[in-house]
Structure 1
Amino acid sequence: MIHEDSPHRSATPGWLAVRLPVHALWLSLAVLAWFAIAAFAPRFGLLDWRAGLGFMVMTAGPLLLGLAVLVAALALALSLRSRPRGPWWKAALALAIPVIIGASLLQLRATAARVPPIHDVATDVVDPPQFSASTMALRDAAGANPLSPYNVPLGQLPAWQGRVEGAQAIQTHADLIGQHYGRLQPIPTGGRDPAQVYDAIVAAMADIGLRDIRRDPDAGIVEGVARTLAFGFRDDVVVRVRDGRIDLRSASRVGVSDLGYNAARLERLSRAIERRLATP
Protein backbone atom coordinates (compact mmCIF):
# COMPACT_ATOMS: atom_id res chain seq x y z
CA MET A 1 0.00 0.00 0.00
CA ILE A 2 1.37 3.41 -0.98
CA HIS A 3 0.77 6.26 1.47
CA GLU A 4 -0.03 9.80 0.30
CA ASP A 5 3.35 11.04 1.39
CA SER A 6 5.13 8.41 -0.64
CA PRO A 7 7.77 9.69 -3.03
CA HIS A 8 5.83 7.78 -5.71
CA ARG A 9 2.85 10.15 -5.39
CA SER A 10 3.80 11.92 -8.61
CA ALA A 11 4.81 9.99 -11.67
CA THR A 12 6.51 13.10 -13.03
CA PRO A 13 10.28 12.68 -13.29
CA GLY A 14 11.87 15.19 -10.96
CA TRP A 15 14.47 16.30 -13.47
CA LEU A 16 11.79 17.21 -16.02
CA ALA A 17 9.81 19.26 -13.52
CA VAL A 18 12.99 21.14 -12.64
CA ARG A 19 14.58 21.56 -16.06
CA LEU A 20 11.58 22.22 -18.29
CA PRO A 21 10.63 25.53 -16.59
CA VAL A 22 14.19 26.72 -17.15
CA HIS A 23 14.12 25.77 -20.81
CA ALA A 24 10.65 27.31 -21.17
CA LEU A 25 11.91 30.59 -19.74
CA TRP A 26 14.87 30.65 -22.10
CA LEU A 27 12.53 29.95 -25.01
CA SER A 28 10.22 32.80 -24.02
CA LEU A 29 13.17 35.15 -23.61
CA ALA A 30 14.36 34.14 -27.08
CA VAL A 31 10.89 34.91 -28.47
CA LEU A 32 10.96 38.27 -26.70
CA ALA A 33 14.34 38.99 -28.28
CA TRP A 34 12.95 37.94 -31.68
CA PHE A 35 10.19 40.55 -31.45
CA ALA A 36 12.60 43.18 -30.12
CA ILE A 37 14.91 42.62 -33.09
CA ALA A 38 11.94 42.75 -35.47
CA ALA A 39 10.77 46.07 -34.02
CA PHE A 40 14.02 47.92 -33.41
CA ALA A 41 16.56 46.59 -35.93
CA PRO A 42 14.79 48.43 -38.81
CA ARG A 43 15.11 51.71 -36.92
CA PHE A 44 18.89 51.41 -36.98
CA GLY A 45 19.09 50.19 -40.56
CA LEU A 46 20.01 46.64 -39.58
CA LEU A 47 16.90 45.07 -41.10
CA ASP A 48 14.33 46.04 -43.69
CA TRP A 49 11.04 46.94 -42.02
CA ARG A 50 9.16 44.57 -44.34
CA ALA A 51 11.19 41.65 -43.02
CA GLY A 52 10.74 42.80 -39.44
CA LEU A 53 7.01 43.47 -39.59
CA GLY A 54 5.95 41.19 -42.41
CA PHE A 55 7.92 38.03 -41.70
CA MET A 56 9.20 38.19 -38.14
CA VAL A 57 6.05 39.64 -36.55
CA MET A 58 3.11 38.75 -38.79
CA THR A 59 4.23 35.39 -40.22
CA ALA A 60 6.66 33.72 -37.82
CA GLY A 61 5.58 35.62 -34.72
CA PRO A 62 2.29 33.79 -34.01
CA LEU A 63 3.97 30.40 -34.47
CA LEU A 64 6.73 31.25 -32.02
CA LEU A 65 4.25 32.65 -29.51
CA GLY A 66 2.14 29.51 -29.74
CA LEU A 67 5.17 27.29 -29.19
CA ALA A 68 6.33 29.35 -26.21
CA VAL A 69 2.86 29.25 -24.62
CA LEU A 70 2.60 25.49 -25.11
CA VAL A 71 6.01 24.73 -23.59
CA ALA A 72 5.52 27.17 -20.72
CA ALA A 73 2.06 25.83 -19.88
CA LEU A 74 3.39 22.27 -19.82
CA ALA A 75 6.33 23.33 -17.67
CA LEU A 76 4.02 25.10 -15.22
CA ALA A 77 1.73 22.10 -14.92
CA LEU A 78 4.62 19.69 -14.34
CA SER A 79 6.34 21.93 -11.82
CA LEU A 80 3.15 22.36 -9.78
CA ARG A 81 2.38 18.64 -9.76
CA SER A 82 5.82 17.43 -8.79
CA ARG A 83 6.87 16.84 -5.18
CA PRO A 84 8.81 18.75 -4.22
CA ARG A 85 7.57 21.45 -6.54
CA GLY A 86 9.82 22.55 -9.36
CA PRO A 87 10.68 26.21 -10.07
CA TRP A 88 7.08 27.04 -10.97
CA TRP A 89 7.74 30.80 -10.96
CA LYS A 90 10.10 30.39 -13.90
CA ALA A 91 7.38 28.57 -15.80
CA ALA A 92 4.85 31.26 -14.84
CA LEU A 93 7.18 33.98 -16.10
CA ALA A 94 7.82 31.96 -19.25
CA LEU A 95 4.06 31.83 -19.81
CA ALA A 96 3.49 35.51 -19.05
CA ILE A 97 5.98 36.75 -21.65
CA PRO A 98 4.30 35.34 -24.80
CA VAL A 99 0.84 36.01 -23.39
CA ILE A 100 1.65 39.70 -22.92
CA ILE A 101 3.21 39.94 -26.39
CA GLY A 102 0.22 38.20 -27.93
CA ALA A 103 -2.21 40.46 -26.08
CA SER A 104 -0.34 43.50 -27.38
CA LEU A 105 -0.60 42.24 -30.95
CA LEU A 106 -4.31 41.59 -30.51
CA GLN A 107 -4.70 45.13 -29.17
CA LEU A 108 -3.00 46.50 -32.28
CA ARG A 109 -5.34 44.45 -34.44
CA ALA A 110 -8.33 45.81 -32.53
CA THR A 111 -7.03 49.35 -33.01
CA ALA A 112 -6.60 48.76 -36.74
CA ALA A 113 -10.22 47.62 -36.95
CA ARG A 114 -11.44 50.66 -35.01
CA VAL A 115 -9.62 53.50 -36.79
CA PRO A 116 -10.03 54.44 -40.47
CA PRO A 117 -7.62 52.69 -42.88
CA ILE A 118 -5.81 55.86 -43.90
CA HIS A 119 -2.33 57.27 -43.31
CA ASP A 120 -2.80 60.95 -44.22
CA VAL A 121 -4.67 63.32 -41.89
CA ALA A 122 -5.18 67.09 -41.97
CA THR A 123 -7.21 69.76 -40.20
CA ASP A 124 -8.34 71.20 -43.55
CA VAL A 125 -9.91 68.44 -45.64
CA VAL A 126 -11.01 70.76 -48.45
CA ASP A 127 -7.60 72.30 -49.09
CA PRO A 128 -5.05 70.34 -47.02
CA PRO A 129 -1.61 71.89 -46.47
CA GLN A 130 0.82 70.92 -49.21
CA PHE A 131 4.32 69.61 -48.65
CA SER A 132 7.27 71.39 -50.21
CA ALA A 133 8.99 70.13 -53.35
CA SER A 134 11.99 69.03 -51.27
CA THR A 135 9.81 66.90 -48.99
CA MET A 136 8.05 65.36 -51.96
CA ALA A 137 11.44 64.55 -53.49
CA LEU A 138 12.46 62.79 -50.27
CA ARG A 139 9.23 60.83 -50.26
CA ASP A 140 9.69 59.82 -53.89
CA ALA A 141 13.29 58.75 -53.26
CA ALA A 142 12.15 56.60 -50.34
CA GLY A 143 9.37 54.99 -52.38
CA ALA A 144 6.82 56.51 -50.02
CA ASN A 145 3.06 56.35 -50.28
CA PRO A 146 1.66 58.73 -52.89
CA LEU A 147 -0.43 61.55 -51.47
CA SER A 148 -3.99 60.83 -52.53
CA PRO A 149 -6.72 63.43 -53.08
CA TYR A 150 -9.08 63.85 -50.16
CA ASN A 151 -12.22 63.92 -52.31
CA VAL A 152 -11.87 60.55 -54.09
CA PRO A 153 -13.46 57.40 -52.60
CA LEU A 154 -10.91 54.96 -51.19
CA GLY A 155 -12.16 52.19 -53.45
CA GLN A 156 -11.02 54.21 -56.47
CA LEU A 157 -7.50 54.79 -55.16
CA PRO A 158 -4.82 52.20 -56.13
CA ALA A 159 -3.44 51.79 -52.60
CA TRP A 160 -6.84 50.74 -51.26
CA GLN A 161 -8.23 48.67 -54.11
CA GLY A 162 -8.90 45.19 -52.80
CA ARG A 163 -8.23 46.33 -49.22
CA VAL A 164 -11.50 48.08 -48.42
CA GLU A 165 -15.07 47.11 -49.14
CA GLY A 166 -18.61 48.14 -48.34
CA ALA A 167 -19.11 51.59 -46.85
CA GLN A 168 -15.39 52.28 -46.57
CA ALA A 169 -14.90 51.82 -50.30
CA ILE A 170 -17.20 54.75 -51.07
CA GLN A 171 -15.88 57.05 -48.36
CA THR A 172 -13.20 59.65 -49.00
CA HIS A 173 -10.35 60.81 -46.81
CA ALA A 174 -12.42 63.89 -46.01
CA ASP A 175 -15.36 61.71 -44.95
CA LEU A 176 -13.25 59.49 -42.70
CA ILE A 177 -11.32 62.35 -41.12
CA GLY A 178 -14.54 64.20 -40.34
CA GLN A 179 -16.16 61.06 -38.96
CA HIS A 180 -13.29 59.82 -36.81
CA TYR A 181 -11.11 62.86 -36.18
CA GLY A 182 -13.57 65.72 -36.06
CA ARG A 183 -11.83 67.01 -32.94
CA LEU A 184 -8.91 68.12 -35.13
CA GLN A 185 -9.49 71.79 -35.89
CA PRO A 186 -7.44 74.72 -37.22
CA ILE A 187 -5.78 76.98 -34.67
CA PRO A 188 -6.53 80.72 -34.89
CA THR A 189 -3.46 82.94 -34.86
CA GLY A 190 -5.32 85.59 -32.88
CA GLY A 191 -3.75 88.40 -34.87
CA ARG A 192 -0.29 87.59 -33.56
CA ASP A 193 2.83 88.71 -35.35
CA PRO A 194 3.76 86.17 -38.07
CA ALA A 195 7.29 85.78 -36.71
CA GLN A 196 5.86 84.87 -33.30
CA VAL A 197 3.54 82.33 -34.90
CA TYR A 198 6.34 80.64 -36.84
CA ASP A 199 8.57 80.60 -33.77
CA ALA A 200 5.77 78.95 -31.79
CA ILE A 201 5.25 76.30 -34.46
CA VAL A 202 8.96 75.47 -34.69
CA ALA A 203 9.25 75.23 -30.91
CA ALA A 204 6.10 73.10 -30.68
CA MET A 205 7.41 70.69 -33.31
CA ALA A 206 10.60 70.29 -31.31
CA ASP A 207 8.54 69.82 -28.15
CA ILE A 208 6.84 66.71 -29.55
CA GLY A 209 10.06 65.26 -30.93
CA LEU A 210 9.93 66.14 -34.62
CA ARG A 211 13.24 66.36 -36.47
CA ASP A 212 14.57 68.09 -39.59
CA ILE A 213 12.34 71.08 -38.85
CA ARG A 214 12.33 73.61 -41.68
CA ARG A 215 10.42 76.87 -41.94
CA ASP A 216 9.53 78.66 -45.15
CA PRO A 217 7.62 81.87 -44.38
CA ASP A 218 7.43 82.74 -48.07
CA ALA A 219 5.45 79.55 -48.69
CA GLY A 220 3.66 79.94 -45.37
CA ILE A 221 4.69 76.52 -44.05
CA VAL A 222 6.82 74.76 -41.46
CA GLU A 223 7.79 71.11 -41.98
CA GLY A 224 9.23 68.36 -39.84
CA VAL A 225 9.71 64.61 -39.75
CA ALA A 226 8.44 62.21 -37.10
CA ARG A 227 10.01 58.81 -36.57
CA THR A 228 8.36 55.97 -34.72
CA LEU A 229 10.25 54.12 -32.00
CA ALA A 230 9.30 50.72 -33.40
CA PHE A 231 10.39 49.97 -36.98
CA GLY A 232 11.67 53.52 -37.45
CA PHE A 233 8.80 54.59 -39.72
CA ARG A 234 9.08 58.18 -40.94
CA ASP A 235 6.01 60.41 -41.18
CA ASP A 236 6.06 63.87 -42.74
CA VAL A 237 4.38 66.80 -41.00
CA VAL A 238 3.53 70.19 -42.50
CA VAL A 239 1.96 73.19 -40.79
CA ARG A 240 0.47 76.01 -42.87
CA VAL A 241 -0.15 79.58 -41.73
CA ARG A 242 -2.73 81.36 -43.86
CA ASP A 243 -5.68 83.70 -43.46
CA GLY A 244 -5.30 83.99 -39.71
CA ARG A 245 -5.35 80.24 -39.04
CA ILE A 246 -2.92 77.40 -38.60
CA ASP A 247 -3.64 74.10 -40.36
CA LEU A 248 -1.75 70.86 -39.81
CA ARG A 249 -1.14 67.71 -41.82
CA SER A 250 0.69 64.45 -41.09
CA ALA A 251 1.26 61.71 -43.67
CA SER A 252 3.01 58.36 -43.30
CA ARG A 253 5.60 57.29 -45.84
CA VAL A 254 4.72 53.58 -45.61
CA GLY A 255 1.72 51.48 -44.69
CA VAL A 256 -1.98 51.67 -45.48
CA SER A 257 -3.40 52.19 -41.99
CA ASP A 258 -1.47 54.34 -39.54
CA LEU A 259 -3.34 52.90 -36.52
CA GLY A 260 -4.39 56.45 -35.65
CA TYR A 261 -0.84 57.70 -35.09
CA ASN A 262 -1.06 60.69 -37.44
CA ALA A 263 -4.23 62.04 -35.84
CA ALA A 264 -2.79 61.53 -32.36
CA ARG A 265 0.37 63.35 -33.45
CA LEU A 266 -1.62 66.31 -34.76
CA GLU A 267 -3.52 66.49 -31.48
CA ARG A 268 -0.25 66.67 -29.55
CA LEU A 269 1.15 69.23 -31.97
CA SER A 270 -2.00 71.36 -31.75
CA ARG A 271 -1.78 71.45 -27.96
CA ALA A 272 1.92 72.24 -28.11
CA ILE A 273 1.34 75.13 -30.55
CA GLU A 274 -1.46 76.53 -28.39
CA ARG A 275 0.79 76.40 -25.33
CA ARG A 276 3.60 78.13 -27.18
CA LEU A 277 1.27 80.82 -28.52
CA ALA A 278 -0.06 81.43 -25.01
CA THR A 279 3.46 81.95 -23.68
CA PRO A 280 4.39 85.67 -23.66
Structure 2
Amino acid sequence: MPIRKPVPAILPWLTALAAAPLVLIVAAVAATRFGGVDLSVGYDLLTWTVARILAWIGLAAAVVAAALALRDIRGRGPYALAGLVFAGAAVVGFVERQGRDATPTPRDVTTNVEEPPAFSRAVAALHRGSTPAACEAVVAIPSQVLAQQATSALVDAGFVVNRATTFEVEAAHEGAWFGFVSDAVVRIRPGRTDIRVAARDARPDGGATCRLAARIARELAGAR
Protein backbone atom coordinates (compact mmCIF):
# COMPACT_ATOMS: atom_id res chain seq x y z
CA MET A 1 0.00 0.00 0.00
CA PRO A 2 1.48 3.38 -0.98
CA ILE A 3 2.23 5.74 1.88
CA ARG A 4 0.08 8.87 1.72
CA LYS A 5 2.08 12.05 1.93
CA PRO A 6 1.19 14.38 4.81
CA VAL A 7 -0.95 17.37 3.97
CA PRO A 8 1.14 20.57 4.12
CA ALA A 9 0.05 22.76 7.01
CA ILE A 10 -0.47 25.66 4.63
CA LEU A 11 -2.99 23.84 2.43
CA PRO A 12 -6.06 24.20 4.74
CA TRP A 13 -5.16 27.86 5.21
CA LEU A 14 -5.06 28.41 1.46
CA THR A 15 -8.49 26.81 1.15
CA ALA A 16 -9.81 28.98 3.97
CA LEU A 17 -8.41 32.07 2.24
CA ALA A 18 -10.20 31.08 -0.96
CA ALA A 19 -13.48 30.80 0.96
CA ALA A 20 -12.95 34.06 2.89
CA PRO A 21 -14.72 36.39 0.40
CA LEU A 22 -17.89 34.29 0.44
CA VAL A 23 -17.85 34.17 4.23
CA LEU A 24 -17.37 37.94 4.37
CA ILE A 25 -20.26 38.53 1.97
CA VAL A 26 -22.59 36.38 4.08
CA ALA A 27 -21.45 38.27 7.19
CA ALA A 28 -22.00 41.61 5.44
CA VAL A 29 -25.50 40.59 4.39
CA ALA A 30 -26.37 39.46 7.92
CA ALA A 31 -24.94 42.63 9.44
CA THR A 32 -26.85 44.82 7.00
CA ARG A 33 -30.17 43.01 7.21
CA PHE A 34 -30.23 42.16 10.91
CA GLY A 35 -27.46 44.14 12.57
CA GLY A 36 -28.38 47.62 11.50
CA VAL A 37 -25.15 48.19 9.57
CA ASP A 38 -25.47 50.90 6.93
CA LEU A 39 -25.33 49.92 3.26
CA SER A 40 -22.27 52.10 2.80
CA VAL A 41 -20.45 49.73 5.14
CA GLY A 42 -22.06 46.35 4.46
CA TYR A 43 -22.47 46.72 0.69
CA ASP A 44 -19.99 49.32 -0.51
CA LEU A 45 -17.08 48.67 1.85
CA LEU A 46 -17.24 45.05 3.04
CA THR A 47 -18.67 43.53 -0.15
CA TRP A 48 -17.60 45.64 -3.10
CA THR A 49 -14.22 46.71 -1.72
CA VAL A 50 -12.86 44.18 0.79
CA ALA A 51 -14.57 41.00 -0.45
CA ARG A 52 -13.88 41.84 -4.11
CA ILE A 53 -10.16 42.24 -3.40
CA LEU A 54 -10.18 39.07 -1.30
CA ALA A 55 -11.82 37.19 -4.18
CA TRP A 56 -8.74 37.68 -6.37
CA ILE A 57 -6.38 36.93 -3.49
CA GLY A 58 -8.42 33.80 -2.80
CA LEU A 59 -8.16 32.77 -6.43
CA ALA A 60 -4.38 33.05 -6.26
CA ALA A 61 -4.41 30.99 -3.06
CA ALA A 62 -6.57 28.35 -4.76
CA VAL A 63 -4.11 28.12 -7.66
CA VAL A 64 -1.24 27.60 -5.21
CA ALA A 65 -3.29 24.93 -3.43
CA ALA A 66 -3.92 23.21 -6.75
CA ALA A 67 -0.18 23.22 -7.51
CA LEU A 68 0.56 21.63 -4.12
CA ALA A 69 -2.16 19.04 -4.69
CA LEU A 70 -0.49 17.75 -7.85
CA ARG A 71 1.96 15.81 -5.68
CA ASP A 72 -0.81 13.89 -3.94
CA ILE A 73 -4.20 14.17 -5.65
CA ARG A 74 -6.00 11.77 -3.32
CA GLY A 75 -4.82 13.35 -0.11
CA ARG A 76 -4.57 17.00 -1.11
CA GLY A 77 -7.03 17.17 -4.00
CA PRO A 78 -10.14 17.89 -1.90
CA TYR A 79 -8.52 21.00 -0.44
CA ALA A 80 -7.53 22.27 -3.85
CA LEU A 81 -10.93 21.50 -5.36
CA ALA A 82 -12.78 23.24 -2.56
CA GLY A 83 -10.52 26.27 -2.89
CA LEU A 84 -11.02 26.50 -6.65
CA VAL A 85 -14.81 26.20 -6.26
CA PHE A 86 -15.00 28.88 -3.55
CA ALA A 87 -12.64 31.31 -5.24
CA GLY A 88 -14.10 30.69 -8.68
CA ALA A 89 -17.64 31.34 -7.46
CA ALA A 90 -16.60 34.62 -5.83
CA VAL A 91 -14.63 35.92 -8.81
CA VAL A 92 -17.24 34.89 -11.37
CA GLY A 93 -19.98 36.47 -9.27
CA PHE A 94 -18.19 39.80 -8.99
CA VAL A 95 -17.17 39.89 -12.67
CA GLU A 96 -20.68 39.00 -13.83
CA ARG A 97 -22.30 41.64 -11.63
CA GLN A 98 -19.74 44.27 -12.64
CA GLY A 99 -20.58 43.55 -16.26
CA ARG A 100 -24.29 44.07 -15.62
CA ASP A 101 -23.72 47.23 -13.60
CA ALA A 102 -21.49 48.67 -16.33
CA THR A 103 -24.53 48.91 -18.61
CA PRO A 104 -26.74 51.81 -17.48
CA THR A 105 -30.27 50.62 -16.70
CA PRO A 106 -33.23 52.70 -15.49
CA ARG A 107 -34.19 52.48 -11.84
CA ASP A 108 -37.66 53.89 -12.47
CA VAL A 109 -39.57 52.08 -15.21
CA THR A 110 -43.11 52.14 -16.50
CA THR A 111 -45.30 50.84 -19.29
CA ASN A 112 -46.58 54.37 -19.96
CA VAL A 113 -43.83 56.98 -20.22
CA GLU A 114 -46.23 59.69 -21.44
CA GLU A 115 -48.55 59.27 -18.44
CA PRO A 116 -46.84 57.12 -15.81
CA PRO A 117 -48.83 55.73 -12.88
CA ALA A 118 -48.42 57.90 -9.79
CA PHE A 119 -47.29 56.70 -6.39
CA SER A 120 -49.02 57.78 -3.21
CA ARG A 121 -47.72 60.99 -1.67
CA ALA A 122 -45.50 59.27 0.91
CA VAL A 123 -43.91 56.93 -1.63
CA ALA A 124 -43.62 59.63 -4.30
CA ALA A 125 -41.51 61.66 -1.84
CA LEU A 126 -38.96 58.82 -1.89
CA HIS A 127 -38.64 59.12 -5.67
CA ARG A 128 -38.73 62.89 -6.04
CA GLY A 129 -36.92 63.99 -9.18
CA SER A 130 -37.03 60.52 -10.75
CA THR A 131 -38.12 60.29 -14.39
CA PRO A 132 -39.76 57.00 -15.42
CA ALA A 133 -38.32 55.25 -18.46
CA ALA A 134 -39.47 52.35 -20.60
CA CYS A 135 -38.30 48.76 -20.40
CA GLU A 136 -38.24 46.81 -23.65
CA ALA A 137 -39.40 43.62 -21.94
CA VAL A 138 -42.35 45.26 -20.18
CA VAL A 139 -45.55 46.35 -21.90
CA ALA A 140 -48.95 47.40 -20.63
CA ILE A 141 -51.72 44.84 -20.22
CA PRO A 142 -54.26 45.63 -22.97
CA SER A 143 -57.27 45.08 -20.71
CA GLN A 144 -58.77 46.21 -17.44
CA VAL A 145 -57.79 43.72 -14.76
CA LEU A 146 -59.50 43.43 -11.40
CA ALA A 147 -57.89 45.00 -8.35
CA GLN A 148 -57.82 41.53 -6.78
CA GLN A 149 -55.87 40.24 -9.79
CA ALA A 150 -53.39 43.10 -9.52
CA THR A 151 -52.95 42.41 -5.82
CA SER A 152 -52.36 38.72 -6.43
CA ALA A 153 -49.90 39.47 -9.24
CA LEU A 154 -47.87 41.77 -7.01
CA VAL A 155 -47.83 39.26 -4.16
CA ASP A 156 -46.81 36.45 -6.53
CA ALA A 157 -44.00 38.69 -7.82
CA GLY A 158 -42.64 39.02 -4.28
CA PHE A 159 -44.15 42.36 -3.29
CA VAL A 160 -45.98 43.33 -0.12
CA VAL A 161 -49.14 45.33 -0.86
CA ASN A 162 -49.50 48.49 1.21
CA ARG A 163 -52.37 50.23 -0.58
CA ALA A 164 -55.19 48.91 -2.73
CA THR A 165 -58.16 50.65 -4.32
CA THR A 166 -60.48 49.70 -7.16
CA PHE A 167 -58.21 51.26 -9.78
CA GLU A 168 -54.77 51.29 -8.19
CA VAL A 169 -52.63 48.90 -6.16
CA GLU A 170 -49.31 49.90 -4.59
CA ALA A 171 -46.70 47.59 -3.11
CA ALA A 172 -43.05 47.32 -2.04
CA HIS A 173 -40.40 44.69 -2.69
CA GLU A 174 -37.38 44.03 -0.45
CA GLY A 175 -34.33 42.36 -1.98
CA ALA A 176 -33.27 39.04 -0.51
CA TRP A 177 -29.62 39.94 -0.03
CA PHE A 178 -29.06 43.48 1.18
CA GLY A 179 -32.71 44.49 1.42
CA PHE A 180 -32.79 47.05 -1.40
CA VAL A 181 -36.39 48.27 -1.64
CA SER A 182 -38.37 48.89 -4.83
CA ASP A 183 -41.86 50.37 -5.01
CA ALA A 184 -44.50 49.35 -7.54
CA VAL A 185 -47.89 50.65 -8.52
CA VAL A 186 -50.40 49.04 -10.87
CA ARG A 187 -52.92 51.45 -12.41
CA ILE A 188 -56.15 50.00 -13.74
CA ARG A 189 -58.15 51.74 -16.43
CA PRO A 190 -60.76 50.63 -18.98
CA GLY A 191 -58.93 48.74 -21.71
CA ARG A 192 -55.45 49.13 -20.19
CA THR A 193 -53.47 48.29 -17.06
CA ASP A 194 -50.14 50.05 -16.53
CA ILE A 195 -47.20 49.20 -14.27
CA ARG A 196 -44.55 51.32 -12.65
CA VAL A 197 -41.60 50.10 -10.55
CA ALA A 198 -38.98 52.38 -8.99
CA ALA A 199 -35.92 51.54 -6.88
CA ARG A 200 -35.39 53.64 -3.77
CA ASP A 201 -31.61 53.29 -3.86
CA ALA A 202 -29.48 55.16 -6.40
CA ARG A 203 -26.85 52.42 -6.77
CA PRO A 204 -26.67 50.51 -10.08
CA ASP A 205 -29.10 47.60 -9.93
CA GLY A 206 -27.93 45.51 -12.88
CA GLY A 207 -31.39 45.66 -14.46
CA ALA A 208 -33.23 44.44 -11.34
CA THR A 209 -35.92 47.13 -11.63
CA CYS A 210 -36.79 46.06 -15.17
CA ARG A 211 -36.83 42.41 -14.11
CA LEU A 212 -39.24 43.16 -11.28
CA ALA A 213 -41.55 45.06 -13.63
CA ALA A 214 -41.40 42.19 -16.13
CA ARG A 215 -42.27 39.73 -13.36
CA ILE A 216 -45.35 41.75 -12.46
CA ALA A 217 -46.35 41.96 -16.12
CA ARG A 218 -46.06 38.18 -16.50
CA GLU A 219 -48.18 37.60 -13.42
CA LEU A 220 -50.81 40.03 -14.65
CA ALA A 221 -50.85 38.46 -18.11
CA GLY A 222 -51.33 35.04 -16.57
CA ALA A 223 -54.23 36.31 -14.46
CA ARG A 224 -56.26 37.54 -17.47
User: TM-score interval w.r.t. the shorter chain?
Assistant: 0.7 to 0.9
Residue 148 of structure 1 is matched in structure 2 by: 130
Equivalent residue letter for 2:171: G
Q: Could you tell me which of 89, 92, 97 is aligned with 1:103? A: 92
Residue 136 of structure 1 is matched in structure 2 by: 124
Q: What TM-score results when the alignment is normalised by the length of structure 2?
A: 0.87
Equivalent residue letter for 2:52: P
Deviations 1:131-188 (A, max 9, x none): 0013235x3xxxxx534235xxxxxxxxxxxxxxxxxxxxxx4xxx3xxx33321112
Percent identity, please.
27
SS of the aligned residue for 2:194 comes to strand
The question of 1:58 aligning with 2:52 is answered no
Equivalent residue letter for 1:257: P
Structure 1 consecutive aligned stretches of length 4 or more whose deviation exceeds 4 Å: none
Superposition RMSD in Å: 2.3
Residue 274 of structure 1 is matched in structure 2 by: 221
**Residue pair 1:40, 1:232 contacting (<8 A) in 2 also:** no
Deviations 1:216-252 (A, max 9, x none): 33xx321000111111101000111124211000000
Structure 1 residues 62, 182: closer, same or farther in 2, change over 3 A?
A: closer
Residue 165 of structure 2 is matched in structure 1 by: 216
Give, in whole Å, the separation in 2 of the partners of 1:240 and 1:250.
12
**Greater radius of gyration (CA):** 1
Structure 1 residues 77, 60: closer, same or farther in 2, change over 3 A?
A: same
Q: What TM-score results when the alignment is normalised by the length of structure 1?
A: 0.71
**Residue pair 2:197, 2:209 contacting (<8 A) in 1 also:** yes
Give, in whole Å, the separation in 2 of the partners of 1:45 and 1:208.
27
Q: What is the CA distance between 1:35 and its match in structure 2?
A: 1.2
Residue 163 of structure 1 is matched in structure 2 by: none
Q: How does 1:21-100 map to 2 (within 5 A)?
A: 21-81=11-71, 86-100=75-89
Give, in whole Å, the separation in 2 of the partners of 1:241 and 1:34.
44
Give, in whole Å, the separation in 2 of the partners of 1:212 and 1:182.
25
Across the two proteins, how many residue pairs are aligned to each other?
221
Structure 1 residues 247, 71: closer, same or farther in 2, change over 3 A?
A: same
